[in-house]
């Protein structure tokens, strides 16, 4: 069984990797990790990655790419997941596929169960644009989404429309539903739909970056 204890340098690398994932939605390259950790050669960064893989903190996928599967470090240097739940961080969403598809997962991030309340499935999604900035959701922010196919009037939903994922406020009336932007940019307009459309989840928290 791999050793779960990690050194101070490994903790530092782990925090750099997590920060890069949260900001850019992808793992740092070997050279980016080398630069952030002030290493003199890419080999040192490669060795660090292999150490984190051996301790089940990083995972090498079948296509050769690397993803983060655990990050929360306890006070004793071990990996702690007390009062947290693993939440997938989604990278670039392929149009036409469900948001929650396995192939979209870039990492698994530990999130407090006070936010990601159980039971339930959650995922983190990076937002684009300014269509919801009046609700505190800005370009590049992460939103924590509870995965479900129904929502209530006034919820901020993640919806699949014309093979694209959008985040909007849901308004329901007797005949149809409206996906409302909440933006200072008046170029954004409502989307009027029948009741038969795909909800991917509801936004429960915003993580500004």
Q: Which residues are catalytic?
A: 131, 168
What is the rounded CA–CA span in Å between residue 193 and residue 11? Answer: 48
For the record, the structure tokens of 59 come out as: 């995972």
The string over 49-77, giving b where at least 16 C-beta atoms fall within 10 Å of a residue's C-beta and e elsewhere, is bebbeebebbeeeeeeebbbbbbbbeeee
DSSP 7-24: -HHHHHHHHHHHHHHHHH
Nearest to 107 by CA among 64, 63, 57, 141: 57
Cα–Cα distance between 196 and 86 in angstroms, integer?
31
The strand pairing partners of 94, in sequence order, are none
């Amino acid at each position: 069984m791999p050793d779960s204890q990690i050194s101070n340098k490994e903790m530092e690398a782990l925090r750099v990797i997590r920060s890069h994932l949260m900001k850019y939605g992808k793992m740092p390259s070997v050279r980016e990790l080398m630069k952030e950790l002030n290493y003199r050669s890419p080999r040192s960064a490669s060795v660090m990655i292999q150490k984190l893989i051996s301790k089940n903190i990083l995972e090498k996928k079948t296509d050769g790419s690397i993803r983060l599967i655990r990050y929360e470090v306890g006070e004793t240097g071990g990996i702690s997941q007390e009062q947290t739940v693993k939440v997938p961080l989604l990278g670039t969403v392929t149009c036409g596929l469900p948001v929650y598809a396995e192939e979209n997962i870039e990492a698994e991030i530990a999130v407090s169960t006070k936010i990601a309340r159980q039971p339930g499935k959650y995922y983190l999604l990076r937002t684009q644009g300014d269509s919801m900035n009046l609700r505190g959701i800005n370009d590049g922010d992460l939103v924590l989404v509870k995965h479900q196919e129904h929502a209530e009037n006034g919820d901020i939903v993640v919806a699949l429309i014309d093979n694209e994922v959008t985040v909007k406020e849901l308004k329901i009336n007797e005949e149809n539903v409206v996906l409302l932007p909440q933006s200072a940019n008046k170029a954004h307009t409502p989307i009027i739909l029948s009741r038969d459309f795909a909800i991917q989840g509801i936004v429960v928290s915003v993580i500004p970056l």
